[in-house]
């Protein structure tokens, strides 16, 4: 079958899709977007987290056909669009690198999308910088095996704090 | 990169930025956060095929026949291969070549590979597997490791005469290795009863450690690409490229130089990538079809596709005098190796030599057994035989302290080892081991705030309580406990293995700037070795621009990313290669007449892009090098070790010892058996901090894997069958299960190691498990002899 949807601002089409394929498979194997990861493919680990119409979802649990006509945003779409050779990292991406929140990095793409969503729901909705407990609750569906989460929590708090400062400056 | 840098920078050992001791950003970090980092499962090729594996549904069965005709006939299927198609050696293995590439005659565990297919789509491949008919004669599983070890009538997992014999391992029946250790009176034949009679307090307990999974997030995967020379190029996630190559090439019937490996992105390892998984299969399919073949395990297959941590059954007896002095101890530990040997002999070597932990005990008797069963194969996992024993001996120390009325830290300090002590193998600890100081520091770390007493106006924060927002308690039935754990781990390979790594370092001027290129075959598995290699090159060569070459078999072996050894071994190799480059640079500078003749080589160093003497710069590196390329390759070997003698287990089997102390604070819902770890704080001596931020990541991540073993992680095996091969049923810690963690780092250098460093990845995985379980005992008074602790154990249903 043919599947068409929008991903990271671009209209895409995949042909000859077997109806049993997941959105994750189509992204990774047919659209050249392997950033979303295939760690468990049963909706438990969060490594394949993407935005689907603005809501985070495990793309391994979404049949490819269900994405038809919808809007998908993946880890590849978090950074600002390329200008020349330099791609500007999103604040949450910068913070992950700076804080040492990345080790093997396989959980990182899903965590970044989930953390981006948390910052949107908190800082950008006027609810302020999430405290440690809020961050831990928000990320509880994303498994990491390397870090013990300490530096991930640090990174999310750092990015949220910077976003809050940016929002405050823009508002003043 | 924009933004405010927040990482701390400790004083540099040289004037060059981002050298040893600093916390530079990891060079692969940006690729990993943009999604552009190419992991082994991300490999893609225009005309690639998908490989898939048919696995045995039985734990133990004779294969009477395999019929592949239905699979071959399916459109879109390009190859269906069985053991008959293995071109070369039919078996492989890390230490003992006992594992079939594809099963023949018999299957010995549930999930053993029997046939492989290549097809144009994973679903086509899956359907092809359904059309392969294997005729099995089902046999009784050999699932009880104690029976396998001690019952001479137990059926054999491997028939006599089919495997090479290792006399030094005391093999018989299903025993892969039996390693005894005897010291003091036990060495001269004393019985436990004789020593028991001299002790004031005796504690005897049976303990169990469950089968833990490494649960790396990136499943086994890779791509094999057939080459024009009849060889194959394999892009693979592994821990040791050369040991893979040395097993793949014979199976393919190819010379080693025809099997070229490049490290693809590795999604974690923790020991599970020491053994081969899909490597030979992908190569066989690629060579047969003439097309690139990609294999990616899913999570369920991953549980069958790699070895696990050995489950252990342990009986410990400790006798002490009334003042707490340890008089004697005995241990019998049975490690279930499952169907194939993997690293079992080496795991037994660690469990025996470190089985009593870092305590002075004059009389010791240890018997460590590794056995074949038809259970899932077990091998390397972070901590490697020392984890299981550490849970046992630390639990014993706590029980003894309780019986003696002593604080658990005081009893440990009273019997603590230190520099100059001898472990039970007779080996002297010839490096600093400030165990008593570390224990005191752990005890004196600030305690977390006491739990607030909820009131009408001040309701409890559910998120801080056991059960969390599931709202299972508002504090009623919740009791706080504190526990300690300390463990000792050998670093690097042991028992006479010639452990080495290789580095090639090139220095040249690129774009007007001196630039170093560091090439090794070492596996970056997430630990941050890529960062450390660059730091060492900067410090040693005084240049800021360093490029890390992809790891491949185009340079000599680096050994495994295991045993906390890569900073030591590959770090040592990079340091040695840099020293050789430096010497060549100095010689070149002299040839060019840039060095005053009164300056000796020993007075010259490289710093800030210059050749420097005490009085100041001698020459800029650009001028010294000009268009010359200086390249040197060096091997670094650690000092030799000895095997353990097979009778009394004596010998200098290890090259370095490392230690971590943990203090855990827990809140336990004593009615529901739920646990919230409130804090998990560590004191560790690492000799020299190479990268403070990455070191913290190792301690926090290692402690969290120990937390998993303490509270939730166990592969449930029933009659050799895995009951929970998924992340739905095998739980690993989430962000809600883990507490904030504090650590104090000591830097007492090991004079034998590069920069004095000590391997840091494994020790926290040893100590956190017993610390957490001790804290739960402190809160509940339950014996808790099984790791992981089960809800039933906490509420007392098993006692």
In a domain, B746, yes or no: yes
- The CATH number linked to A160 is 1.10.150.120
| Shortest Cα distance, chain B CAs vs residue A125, angstroms | 22
Domain shared by B441 and B467, yes or no: yes
Q: How confident is the model at residue B799 (pLDDT cuts 50, 70, 90)?
A: low
The Cα–Cα gap between B766 and B383 comes to 6
pLDDT of residue B239: 98
Last residue of a domain, one of A78, A112, A138: A78
Q: Are B628 and B508 in contact (CB under 8 A)?
A: yes
> Taking CB atoms and an 8 Å limit, are B6 and A135 in contact across chains?
no
Written as six digits, the tokens of A6 are: 């929008």
Q: Is B99 helix (H, G, I), strand (E, B) or coil?
A: strand
- The CATH number linked to A23 is 3.10.20.30
- Tens digit of pLDDT for each residue in B133-149? 999 999 999 999 999 99
pLDDT of residue A171: 81
The Cα–Cα gap between B645 and B650 comes to 5
In a domain, B279, yes or no: yes
For residue B530, list chain A residues with Cβ-Cβ distance below 8 A. Answer: none
Q: Are B308 and B211 in contact (CB under 8 A)?
A: yes
| Shortest Cα distance, chain B CAs vs residue A141, angstroms | 7
The B residues from 457 to 486 touching A (CB cutoff 8 Å) are 461, 463-464, 469
Q: Are B623 and B593 in contact (CB under 8 A)?
A: no
Other CB atoms within a 10 A radius of the CB of residue B136 amount to 18
The Cα–Cα gap between B494 and B378 comes to 19
Q: Are A116 and A92 in contact (CB under 8 A)?
A: yes
Of the two residues B14 and B448, the one the predictor is more confident about is B448
Domain shared by A91 and A166, yes or no: yes
For residue A20, list chain B residues with Cβ-Cβ distance below 8 A. Answer: 123
> Taking CB atoms and an 8 Å limit, are B33 and A89 in contact across chains?
yes
For residue B219, list chain A residues with Cβ-Cβ distance below 8 A. Answer: 38-39
For residue B42, list chain A residues with Cβ-Cβ distance below 8 A. Answer: 28, 34
Q: What angle do CA B533, B534, B538 make, to 5 degrees?
A: 120
| Shortest Cα distance, chain B CAs vs residue A120, angstroms | 18
Written as six digits, the tokens of B27 are: 């060079």
Q: Is B218 helix (H, G, I), strand (E, B) or coil?
A: coil
Through-space distance between the first and last CA atoms of chain A, rounded to whole angstroms = 52
Q: Are B77 and B288 in contact (CB under 8 A)?
A: no
In a domain, B591, yes or no: yes
**Nearest CB neighbour to A148, from listed B32, B218, B738:** B738
For residue A95, list chain B residues with Cβ-Cβ distance below 8 A. Answer: 3
pLDDT of residue B11: 39
Chain B interface mutation, best of A104, A110, A112, A115, highest count of B Cβ atoms under 10 Å: A104
Q: Is B386 helix (H, G, I), strand (E, B) or coil?
A: helix
Residue B204: C-alpha distances to residues B308, B354, B398, B774 (Å): 28, 19, 12, 17
Question: Which backbone phi and psi does B278 adopt, to 5 degrees?
Answer: -100, 5
In a domain, B22, yes or no: no
Of the two residues B354 and B457, the one the predictor is more confident about is B354
pLDDT of residue A85: 58
Domain shared by A46 and A85, yes or no: no
Written as six digits, the tokens of B391 are: 């849970």
> Taking CB atoms and an 8 Å limit, are B299 and A99 in contact across chains?
no
Domain shared by B234 and B332, yes or no: no
> Taking CB atoms and an 8 Å limit, are B732 and A44 in contact across chains?
no
3-state secondary structure B452-511: CCCCCCCCCCHHHCCCHHHCCCCCCCEEEEEEEEEEEEEECCCCCCCCEEEEEEEEEEEC
Q: Cα B453 vs. chain centroid, distance in angstroms?
A: 42
Residue of A nearest to B461 (CA): A133
Domain shared by A48 and A98, yes or no: no
Written as six digits, the tokens of B454 are: 């909820």
Total domain count, chain B = 4
Other CB atoms within a 10 A radius of the CB of residue B744 amount to 15
Question: Number of CB pairs < 8 Å for A and B?
Answer: 206
- The CATH number linked to B257 is 3.90.1170.50
Q: What percent of chain B is predicted at pLDDT more than 70?
A: 98
pLDDT for B15 beyond 90 = no
Provide mean pLDDT across the span B54-68: 98
Q: Identify the CA nearest to B790 among candidates B730, B714, B738, B722.
A: B714
pLDDT of residue B103: 98
- Tens digit of pLDDT for each residue in B508-519? 999 999 999 999
DSSP of B359-384: B--SEEEEEEEEE--SSPPEE--TTT
Q: Is B253 helix (H, G, I), strand (E, B) or coil?
A: coil
Total domain count, chain A = 2
The Cα–Cα gap between A43 and B728 comes to 9
- Tens digit of pLDDT for each residue in A57-108? 999 999 999 999 999 999 999 997 655 556 689 999 999 999 999 999 999 9
DSSP label of B230: S
Provide mean pLDDT across the span B615-630: 96
Last residue of a domain, one of B388, B416, B450: B388
- Tens digit of pLDDT for each residue in B718-746? 999 999 999 999 999 999 999 999 999 99
Q: Is A41 helix (H, G, I), strand (E, B) or coil?
A: coil
Q: Is B766 helix (H, G, I), strand (E, B) or coil?
A: helix
Greatest C-alpha distance within chain B: 85
Q: Are B21 and B218 in contact (CB under 8 A)?
A: no
Q: In what helix (H) or strand (E) does residue A111 lie, and over which residues does it extend?
A: helix A108-121
Domain shared by A65 and A22, yes or no: yes
pLDDT of residue B491: 98
Q: What angle do CA B632, B633, B639 make, to 5 degrees?
A: 130
Domain shared by A70 and A97, yes or no: no
Residue of A nearest to B41 (CA): A38
Q: Are B589 and B529 in contact (CB under 8 A)?
A: no
Domain shared by B279 and B331, yes or no: no
Q: Dihedral sign, CA of B90, B93, B98, B100?
A: negative
Residue B119: C-alpha distances to residues A23, A60, B221, B286 (Å): 21, 22, 16, 11
Q: How confident is the model at residue B588 (pLDDT cuts 50, 70, 90)?
A: very high
**Nearest CB neighbour to B42, from listed A34, A136, A141:** A34
DSSP label of B638: P
Domain shared by A89 and A160, yes or no: yes
- Tens digit of pLDDT for each residue in B411-461? 999 999 999 999 999 999 999 999 999 999 999 999 999 998 888 898 899
In a domain, B84, yes or no: yes
Domain shared by A138 and A85, yes or no: yes
The B residues from 682 to 721 touching A (CB cutoff 8 Å) are 693-694, 696-697, 700-705
Written as six digits, the tokens of B798 are: 């098993």
Domain shared by A57 and A91, yes or no: no
Q: Are strands B363-371 and B326-336 parallel, antiparallel or unpaired?
A: parallel
- Tens digit of pLDDT for each residue in B309-342? 999 999 999 999 999 999 999 999 999 999 999 9
Domain shared by B532 and B627, yes or no: yes
Provide mean pLDDT across the span B622-641: 98
- Tens digit of pLDDT for each residue in A134-161? 999 999 999 999 999 999 999 999 999 9
Average model confidence (pLDDT) for chain B? 96
Chain B interface mutation, best of A87, A143, A148, A158, highest count of B Cβ atoms under 10 Å: A148
Domain shared by B149 and B93, yes or no: no
Written as six digits, the tokens of B22 are: 């600093």
For residue A33, list chain B residues with Cβ-Cβ distance below 8 A. Answer: 35
For residue B299, list chain A residues with Cβ-Cβ distance below 8 A. Answer: 39-42
Provide mean pLDDT across the span B360-385: 98
Domain shared by B207 and B251, yes or no: no
Domain shared by B336 and B291, yes or no: no
Written as six digits, the tokens of B585 are: 């640079």
In a domain, B681, yes or no: yes
DSSP of B258-326: GEEEEEPB----TTTTSS-SSHHHHHHHHHHHTS-EEEE--HHHHHHHS-EEPPEEEEEEEEE-TTS-E
Chain A interface mutation, best of B18, B30, B34, B738, highest count of A Cβ atoms under 10 Å: B34
Q: For residue A74, what are the domain limits? A: 3-78
Question: Which backbone phi and psi does B399 adopt, to 5 degrees?
Answer: -65, -40
pLDDT for B4 beyond 50 = no
DSSP of B666-721: EEEETTTTEEEEEEEEEEEE-SS-S-HHHHHHHHHHHHHHHHHHHHT--B-EETTE
Residue of A nearest to B265 (CA): A104
Q: Is B765 helix (H, G, I), strand (E, B) or coil?
A: helix
- Tens digit of pLDDT for each residue in B651-660? 999 999 999 9
**Nearest CB neighbour to A98, from listed B6, B217, B741:** B6
> Taking CB atoms and an 8 Å limit, are A40 and B299 in contact across chains?
yes
Residue of A nearest to B42 (CA): A34
Domain shared by A45 and A95, yes or no: no
- Tens digit of pLDDT for each residue in B271-288? 999 999 999 999 999 999
Whole-model pTM?
0.97
Provide mean pLDDT across the span B107-128: 98
Q: Identify the CA nearest to A61 among candidates A45, A74, A75.
A: A45
Domain shared by B173 and B282, yes or no: no
Q: Are B651 and B642 in contact (CB under 8 A)?
A: yes
Last residue of a domain, one of A24, A49, A78: A78
Residue of B nearest to A18 (CA): B123
pLDDT of residue B106: 97
Domain shared by A65 and A144, yes or no: no
Which distant-in-sequence residues (6+ apart) come within 8 Å of B543 by Cβ?
B16, B507, B513, B514, B515, B516, B537, B606, B609, B621
**Nearest CB neighbour to B123, from listed A18, A140, A143:** A18
The Cα–Cα gap between B53 and B102 comes to 10
Strand-pair partners of B100: B91
Domain shared by B735 and B664, yes or no: yes
Q: For residue B750, what are the domain limits? A: 437-492+649-795
In a domain, B401, yes or no: no
In a domain, B410, yes or no: no
Domain shared by A20 and A90, yes or no: no
pLDDT for B462 beyond 60 = yes
Last residue of a domain, one of A40, A59, A78: A78
Domain shared by B766 and B669, yes or no: yes
Q: Are B293 and B184 in contact (CB under 8 A)?
A: no
Domain shared by A59 and A90, yes or no: no
pLDDT of residue A80: 77
DSSP of B565-605: -HHHHHHHHHHHHHHHHHHHHHHHHHHTT-S-TTS-GGG-E
pLDDT of residue B798: 67
pLDDT of residue B2: 36
- The CATH number linked to B708 is 3.30.365.10
Domain shared by B48 and B167, yes or no: no
Residue of A nearest to B725 (CA): A40
The Cα–Cα gap between B346 and B95 comes to 9
Other CB atoms within a 10 A radius of the CB of residue B672 amount to 17
pLDDT for B218 beyond 60 = yes
DSSP label of B341: -
Domain shared by B93 and B235, yes or no: yes
| Shortest Cα distance, chain A CAs vs residue B110, angstroms | 20
């Amino acid at each position: 079958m043919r599947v068409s949807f929008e991903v990271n601002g671009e209209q895409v089409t995949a042909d000859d899709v077997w109806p049993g394929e997941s959105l994750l498979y189509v992204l990774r194997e047919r659209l050249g977007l392997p950033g979303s990861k295939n760690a468990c493919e049963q909706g438990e680990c969060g490594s394949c987290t993407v935005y689907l119409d603005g809501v985070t979802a495990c793309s391994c649990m979404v049949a490819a056909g269900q994405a038809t006509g919808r809007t998908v945003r993946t880890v590849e779409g978090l950074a600002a669009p390329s200008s020349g050779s330099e791609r500007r990292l999103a604040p949450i991406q910068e913070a992950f690198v700076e804080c040492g929140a990345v080790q093997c990095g396989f959980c990182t793409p899903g965590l970044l999308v989930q953390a981006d969503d948390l910052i949107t729901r908190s800082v950008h909705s006027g609810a302020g910088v999430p405290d440690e407990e809020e961050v831990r609750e928000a990320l509880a569906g994303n498994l990491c095996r390397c870090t013990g989460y300490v530096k991930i929590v640090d990174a999310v708090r750092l990015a949220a704090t910077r976003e809050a400062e940016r929002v405050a400056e823009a508002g003043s | 990169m924009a933004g405010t840098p927040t990482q701390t920078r400790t004083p540099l050992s040289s004037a060059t930025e981002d050298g040893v001791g600093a916390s530079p950003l990891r060079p692969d970090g940006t690729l990993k956060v943009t999604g552009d980092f190419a992991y082994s499962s991300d490999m893609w090729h225009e005309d690639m095929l998908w490989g898939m594996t048919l696995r045995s549904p039985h734990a133990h069965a004779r294969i009477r026949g395999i019929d592949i005709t239905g699979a071959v006939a399916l459109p879109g299927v390009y190859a269906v291969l069985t053991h008959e198609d293995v071109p070369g050696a039919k078996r492989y293995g890390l230490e003992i070549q006992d594992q079939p590439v594809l099963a023949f005659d018999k299957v010995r565990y549930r999930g053993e590979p029997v046939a492989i297919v290549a097809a144009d789509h994973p679903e086509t491949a899956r359907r092809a597997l359904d059309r392969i008919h294997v005729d099995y004669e089902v046999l009784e599983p050999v699932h009880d490791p104690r029976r396998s070890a001690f019952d001479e009538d137990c059926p054999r997992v491997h028939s006599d005469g089919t495997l090479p014999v290792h006399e030094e391992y005391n093999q018989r029946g299903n025993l892969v290795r039996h390693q005894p250790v005897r010291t003091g009176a036990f060495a001269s034949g004393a019985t436990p009863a004789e020593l028991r009679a001299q002790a004031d307090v005796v504690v005897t307990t049976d303990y169990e450690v469950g089968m833990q999974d490494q649960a790396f997030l990136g499943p086994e995967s890779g791509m094999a690409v057939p080459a024009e020379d009849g060889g194959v190029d394999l892009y693979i996630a592994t821990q040791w490229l050369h040991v893979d190559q040395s097993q793949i090439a014979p199976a393919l019937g190819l010379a080693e130089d025809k099997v070229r490996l490049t490290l693809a992105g590795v999604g974690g390892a923790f020991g599970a990538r020491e053994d081969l998984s899909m490597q030979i299969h992908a190569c066989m399919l690629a060579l047969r079809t003439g097309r690139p073949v990609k294999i990616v395990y899913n999570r369920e297959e991953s549980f069958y596709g790699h070895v696990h941590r050995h489950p252990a059954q342990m009986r410990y007896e400790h006798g002490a005098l009334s003042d707490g002095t340890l008089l004697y101890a005995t241990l019998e530990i049975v490690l279930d190796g499952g169907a194939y040997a993997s690293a079992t002999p080496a795991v037994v070597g660690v469990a025996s030599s470190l089985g009593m932990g870092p305590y002075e005990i004059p009389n010791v008797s240890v018997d460590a057994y590794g056995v074949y069963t038809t259970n899932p194969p077990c091998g390397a996992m972070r901590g490697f035989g020392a984890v299981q024993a550490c849970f046992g001996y630390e639990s014993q120390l706590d029980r003894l302290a309780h019986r003696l009325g002593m604080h658990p830290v005081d009893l440990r300090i009273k019997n603590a080892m230190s520099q100059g002590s001898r472990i039970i193998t007779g080996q002297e600890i010839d490096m600093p081991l400030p165990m008593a100081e570390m224990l005191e520091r752990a005890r004196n770390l600030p305690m977390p705030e006491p739990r607030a007493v909820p009131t009408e106006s001040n309701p409890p924060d559910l998120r801080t309580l056991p059960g969390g927002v599931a709202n299972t308690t508002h504090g009623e039935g919740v009791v706080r406990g504190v526990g300690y754990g300390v463990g000792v781990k050998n670093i690097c390979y042991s028992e006479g293995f010639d452990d080495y790594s290789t580095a090639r370092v090139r220095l040249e001027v690129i774009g007007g700037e001196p630039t170093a290129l560091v090439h090794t075959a070492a596996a970056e598995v997430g630990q941050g070795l890529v960062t450390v290699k660059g730091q060492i090159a900067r410090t040693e060569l005084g240049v800021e621009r360093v490029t890390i070459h992809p790891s491949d078999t185009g340079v000599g072996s680096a050994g495994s990313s295991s045993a906390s050894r890569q900073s030591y071994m590959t770090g040592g190799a990079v340091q040695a290669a840099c020293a050789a480059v430096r010497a060549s640079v100095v010689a070149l500078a002299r040839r060019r007449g840039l060095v005053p003749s009164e300056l000796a080589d020993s007075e010259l160093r490289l710093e800030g892009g210059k050749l420097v003497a005490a009085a100041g710069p001698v020459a800029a590196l650009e001028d010294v090098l000009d268009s010359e390329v200086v390249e040197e390759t060096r091997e670094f070997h650690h000092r030799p070790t000895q095997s353990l003698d097979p009778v009394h287990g004596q010998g200098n089997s290890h090259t370095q010892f490392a230690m971590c102390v943990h203090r855990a604070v827990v809140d336990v819902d004593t009615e529901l058996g739920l646990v919230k770890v409130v804090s998990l704080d560590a004191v560790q001596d690492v000799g020299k901090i190479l990268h403070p931020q990455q070191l913290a990541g190792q301690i926090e991540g290692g402690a969290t894997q120990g937390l998993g073993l303490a509270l939730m992680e166990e592969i449930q095996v029933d009659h050799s069958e895995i009951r929970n091969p998924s992340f739905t049923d095998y739980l690993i810690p989430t962000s809600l299960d883990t507490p904030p963690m504090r650590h104090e780092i000591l830097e007492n250098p090991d004079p034998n190691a590069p920069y004095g460093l000590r391997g840091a990845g494994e020790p926290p995985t040893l100590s956190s498990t017993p610390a957490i379980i001790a804290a739960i005992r402190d809160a509940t008074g339950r014996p808790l002899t099984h790791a992981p602790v089960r809800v039933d154990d906490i509420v007392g249903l098993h006692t």
